[in-house]
Amino acid sequence: MDNNKTKITLIRHGKPQAQDDYSLFSIVSGENIEQFIRAWNTCKLHSVNDIPSSLKEIIQDGELFISSELTRTHESFHMLGIRAFESNHLFNEADLPCGIGRSIKMPLIIWMIALRLLWRSGLYYNSEAYKNFIKRVNDGADYLEKNKNVKHTILMAHGFVNRILKKELLRRNWKLISSNDGYRYWSHATFEKV
């Protein structure tokens, strides 16, 4: 890896406590989905988080650290020993539509899949429209690229945000140079400017 080239590393936050607080197979009404989303977006990290040693090595030469505004990304940086970082709404996770099907009850995982599909199809009741989310994340890519004097930018964000950013960076001629390939907690991908 050439140390003179500009790099961007995208990291998904650590495991949130809400993952244990809410079983994916719990039967939930549409009325309670909003409560779940609020809890998910404000929850702290789980007390047990296995941070890959490769991630600790990758961030050692980081010069600029950026996170979303959500607690779990801030705590993830803290777990890595990073105390100084910017927080930016451009990298917040997409909100799912809520407030629909209030009396319908089904497993939480089915709700999450259905709401994500409806959202991508244009339903954005009480949430950000999918096209606006894509624009916001693309604006986030602009923000990451504007720091021309920074050799290595580290972003702590969310699975779906990172997935869209990855596609956008590749479209903008960034080369994927390392990845632990996946969207699990603590997954990461590093890009280099071609």
N-to-C CA span, the chain: 12
In the predicted structure, residue 2 carries a pLDDT above the cut 60? no
Q: Are 67 and 91 in contact (CB under 8 A)?
A: yes
Closest C-alpha among 185, 154, 166, 181 to residue 72: 185
Domains of the chain: residue spans and CATH: 7-193 (3.40.50.1240)
In angstroms, the CA 150 to CA 39 distance is: 35
Q: Which residues in 111-124 are b (16+ Cβ under 10 Å) and which e?
A: bbebbeebbeeeeb
pLDDT digits (tens, 9 = 90+) for 93-148: 998 898 888 899 999 999 999 999 999 999 998 899 999 999 999 999 999 999 88
What is the number of alpha carbons within 13 Å of residue 94 lying toward its C-beta?
A: 27
* Over residues 31-52, mean pLDDT: 86
Work out the pLDDT band at 181, boundaries 50, 70, 90.
low
pTM of the model: 0.92
